[in-house]
Amino acid sequence: MKLWKSWVIASKDFSVFRKKKSVIYSVILIPLLMSIFLPFIIGSAGMKGSGVTIAEFASLLNSFSFFFVILAASLTTVIASYSLIGEKIEKSIEPLLATPTTDKEILLGKSFAAFLPPILSIYIGLGIFMVLIDKMTYNTLGYFYYPNWNIAIIIVLVAPLASILSVELGVILSSRVNDVRAAQQLGQLIIIPFFGIYILGEIGYISLGINSMLVISAIMLVVDIFLFYISTITFRREEILTKWK
Amino acid sequence: MRVDEIMIDVENLSKKFGDVTAVDEVTFHVNEGEVFGFLGPNGAGKTTTVRMLSCLISKTSGDARIAGYDINNTDDSLKIRKLIGLVPDNVGLYEELSAYKNLDFYGKLYECNKIQREENIEHFLRMLGLWEKRDVAAGAFSKGMKQKIAIARALIHEPEILFLDEPTVNLDPESSKMVRDFIMELKKEKKTIFLNTHNLDEAQKICDKIGILNTKLMATGTPEELEGSVWGNKTVIQLEKVNDMILDELNKLSLKKIIYDNNKLTIDVVNPKKENPIIVAAIVRAGGQVQYVTELSPTLEDAYLKFVR
Ligand SMILES: Nc1ncnc2c1ncn2[C@@H]1O[C@H](COP(=O)(O)OP(=O)(O)OP(=O)(O)O)[C@@H](O)[C@H]1O
Ligand SMILES: [Mg+2]
């Protein structure tokens, strides 16, 4: 396995993305807006001495930071479908497969390409989010709320695992769907379970605290490994050329 | 002939897609430096064969070796892909990227170093008259220009063997000629070329050997051999007037077959150089006025049509 080849493929995709306005907008703009909009809600409603307890405040912020997980899953499908179905539609997959590159190197390159831009953008968004929240709450709390363990687990485990889930789903979808938009729309179904978790958190059925995040991560890890297996079966030279319709 | 000169060696190669047999027990070989033309109608299995030989899809049965490497061996398949260049039937360029970037990307994947990439990209783009447009996005090019870039892309790593799947199908006559001349240049460099085409004229002009495919390989040989295999020699004689006396006289010569219409005789002959004077003498004897004598030679098209029908 030559990792540099995967990187060559991913870099090529980055150059292609840079020429696509829709990709740039969704990947950069949405997390950015979220990182400003969410603290704004907190600022205007939450902390204006309206008697919110620290616990309530923490739970509100936990569910807000979970938004970024949903975003990680959702943005990655957009890019993954684009990167794979794009090659299929432009028929550039055949000359690519004709190079001395293994299926795994190509799959990994495509996964890098779909994973890195959204996750980086999410990290930047989360960074802005944390700084803004800290700025707004320092005077009331007397300490910096962020960084904390909860957000650390989101950054290190939950968001990347959600994004990987999306990449794998994107690979599997691309083998069955021939239209970028259709794949992107189907891919958005991935946010349903995450929204479910979010709602359960909101109605207080589960907490979105450290323990839940760890459990969610463990579940996603298992699903990721399973989908990884499926996606490597789907992503075989011969399948791609003869069965991907 | 030394065995190691055989660059493409195919034996009883078959491919089935479910119930459909796309390629059926095909056997042929191509020597180093040869241009091999693969002719056949739509759906004959040309693209399928090229894909099997480029290790893109697996065979169902049979064997094939490319420069001695086995297409069915996973380790060999990477070596084969490095050794060959493929111009697929769909050009498949990255439309958003410039011509240069398209080629550079493939240069990297073919493991060419930076200097080799720079030199080869410039060399081929200049040769194909596209150097000035190297920074233009590939999507803005005409079909013919895209086709040329696809050819440059296949050559970026200086492969020993080049597979071309209908490379001139979208090109105007001038560009087609350019591609053909280009193929002839590559032939001079001892490259082995495998050319899928529908274009009989093209095959005749540049191929050393031709295979006619229609799921099965119907015939192989040089263009001349294939033409000769259609029918024997025929002599056409235009007379002022054909009459029974002439025909009687000719029948005495026990010729194989005589057809006439519009005072034109078409006669099957075995050895035209020996028989033609005898035939003409017989006609003159019978009082016939010979206006001209020509040979009727079968074309590659005749051969093609005979084999694919
Ligand atoms: N992925 C596939 N699944 C099922 N059948 C296929 C597949 N690819 C090709 N075939 C069938 O195999 C046969 C050969 O197809 P192929 O594309 O090799 O022909 P071709 O000679 O290249 O034709 P053309 O001149 O149209 O390019 C056809 O009958 C085709 O329908
Ligand atoms: Mg074809």
Lay out the sheet containing B264-269: strands in order across.
B258-261, B264-269, B233-239, B290-296
> Residue B98: pLDDT band by 50, 70, 90 thresholds?
very high
Angle at B37 between CA B46 and CA B109, to 5 degrees: 70
Q: How far is B167 from B151, CA to CA, in rounded Å? A: 8
What residue of A is the nearest CA neighbor of B76?
Answer: A100
CB neighbours (10 Å) of residue A123?
16
Terminal C-alpha separation, chain B: 34
What residue of A is the nearest CA neighbor of B51?
Answer: A98
**Minimum distance, in Å, between the CA of residue B81 and any CA atom of chain A:** 5
* Strand partners of residue B70: B65
Distances (CA, A) of B189 to B32, B83, B161: 10, 15, 11
Pocket of ligand 1 contains residue B277 by CB under 6 Å: no
What is the mean pLDDT of the segment spanning B30-36? 95
Chain A residues within an 8 Å CB radius of B88: 91, 94-95, 98
A1 C-alpha vs ligand 1 centroid, how far in Å? 32
* Residue A152 token pair: 């650390």
ipTM comes to: 0.90
Angle at B39 between CA B33 and CA B41, to 5 degrees: 160
Residue A202: burial class (beta carbons within 10 Å; 0-12, 13-18, 19+): middle
Judging by DSSP bridges, how do beta strands B35-39 and B192-197 pair with one another? Answer: parallel
Q: How far is A170 from A178, CA to CA, in rounded Å? A: 12
Pocket of ligand 1 contains residue B47 by CB under 6 Å: yes
Chain B residues within an 8 Å CB radius of A20: 96
* A179: three-class secondary structure by DSSP: coil
Task: List domains and CATH numbers for chain B.
Answer: 6-221 (3.40.50.300), 231-299 (3.30.70.100)
Q: How far is A218 from B250, CA to CA, in rounded Å? A: 96
CB neighbours (10 Å) of residue B200?
19
> Residue B1: pLDDT band by 50, 70, 90 thresholds?
very low
* Residue A198 token pair: 């979010």
What is the mean pLDDT of the segment spanning B83-102? 96
Quote the strand ranges of A72-212, DSSP E.
none
Distances (CA, A) of B145 to A42, A170, B178, B226: 57, 33, 11, 34
Q: How far is A242 from B15, CA to CA, in rounded Å? A: 12
Contact B183, B206 (CB under 8 A): yes
Name the closest ligand to CA B51. Answer: 1
**Minimum distance, in Å, between the CA of residue A19 and any CA atom of chain B:** 7
Q: Where are the domains of chain A?
A: 3-243
Pocket of ligand 1 contains residue B45 by CB under 6 Å: yes
Does pTM top 0.90 for this prediction?
Answer: no
Residue A79: burial class (beta carbons within 10 Å; 0-12, 13-18, 19+): buried
Q: How far is A44 from A4, CA to CA, in rounded Å? A: 48
Q: How far is B150 from B135, CA to CA, in rounded Å? A: 16
Judging by DSSP bridges, how do beta strands B264-269 and B258-261 pair with one another? Answer: antiparallel
Judging by DSSP bridges, how do beta strands B216-221 and B209-214 pair with one another? Answer: antiparallel
Distance of CA B238 to the CA centre of its chain: 35
Name the closest ligand to CA B198. Answer: 1
What residue of A is the nearest CA neighbor of B154?
Answer: A95
Chain B residues with CB under 8 Å of a chain A CB are: 17, 51, 54, 56-58, 78-79, 81-82, 84, 86, 88, 90-97, 101, 105-106, 108-111, 137, 150, 153-154
Nearest Cα neighbor of B16 from B8, B25, B7 is: B25
Residue partners of B62: CB distance under 8 A and separation at least 6: B10, B11, B12, B13, B14, B25, B26
What pLDDT, on the 0 to 100 scale, is given for residue B15?
A: 97
Rounded to 5 degrees, what are φ and ψ at A126? Answer: -65, -35
Nearest Cα neighbor of B279 from B297, B260, B298 is: B260
Question: What pLDDT digit, counting tens, does each position of B222-263 carry?
Answer: 988 888 777 677 889 999 998 888 988 888 888 878 888 889
Chain A residues with CB under 8 Å of a chain B CB are: 5, 8-9, 12, 15-16, 19-20, 90-102, 237-238, 241-242
Q: Do A90 and B17 touch (CB under 8 A)?
A: no
Q: Is the peptide bond before A160 cis (omega within 30 degrees of 0)?
A: no
What pLDDT, on the 0 to 100 scale, is given for residue A141?
A: 83
Q: How far is B162 from A229, CA to CA, in rounded Å? A: 35
What is the DSSP code (8-state) at residue A91?
A: T
Contact B288, B244 (CB under 8 A): no
Q: How far is A4 from A101, CA to CA, in rounded Å? A: 11
Pocket of ligand 1 contains residue B88 by CB under 6 Å: no
Q: How far is A169 from A80, CA to CA, in rounded Å? A: 9
**Minimum distance, in Å, between the CA of residue A65 and any CA atom of chain B:** 36
B270 C-alpha vs ligand 1 centroid, how far in Å? 41
Tell me which residue in A16, A91, A97 faces B97 most closely, judged by beta carbons. Answer: A16
Pocket of ligand 1 contains residue B42 by CB under 6 Å: yes
> Residue B13: pLDDT band by 50, 70, 90 thresholds?
very high
What pLDDT, on the 0 to 100 scale, is given for residue A42?
A: 78
Contact B265, B247 (CB under 8 A): no
Question: What pLDDT digit, counting tens, does each position of A20-42 carry?
Answer: 888 888 899 999 999 999 888 87
* Rounded (10°) angle between helices A103-141 and A30-41: 20
* Rounded (10°) angle between helices B244-251 and B272-285: 140
What pLDDT, on the 0 to 100 scale, is given for residue B259?
A: 87
Q: What is the pLDDT along chain A (245 residues), one digit of tens a residue?
A: 899 999 999 999 999 999 988 888 889 999 999 999 988 887 776 555 556 677 778 888 888 899 999 999 999 988 998 888 889 888 999 999 999 999 999 999 999 999 999 999 999 999 999 999 999 888 888 889 999 999 999 999 999 999 999 999 999 988 888 888 888 888 888 889 999 998 888 888 888 889 999 999 999 999 999 999 999 998 988 988 887 66
**Minimum distance, in Å, between the CA of residue A102 and any CA atom of chain B:** 8
> DSSP for chain B?
--GGGEEEEEEEEEEEETTEEEEEEEEEEEETT-EEEEE--TTSSHHHHHHHHTTSS--SEEEEEETTEETT-HHHHHHHHHHEEEE-SS----TTSBHHHHHHHHHHHTT--HHHHHHHHHHHHHHTT-GGGTTSBGGGS-HHHHHHHHHHHHHTT--SEEEEESTTTT--HHHHHHHHHHHHHHHHTT-EEEEEES-HHHHHHH-SEEEEEESEEEEEE-HHHHHHHHS-EEEEEEES---HHHHHHHHTT--S-EEEETTEEEEEES-HHHHHHHHHHHHHHTT--EEEEEEE---HHHHHHHHH-
Distances (CA, A) of B75 to A5, A176, B55: 17, 29, 11
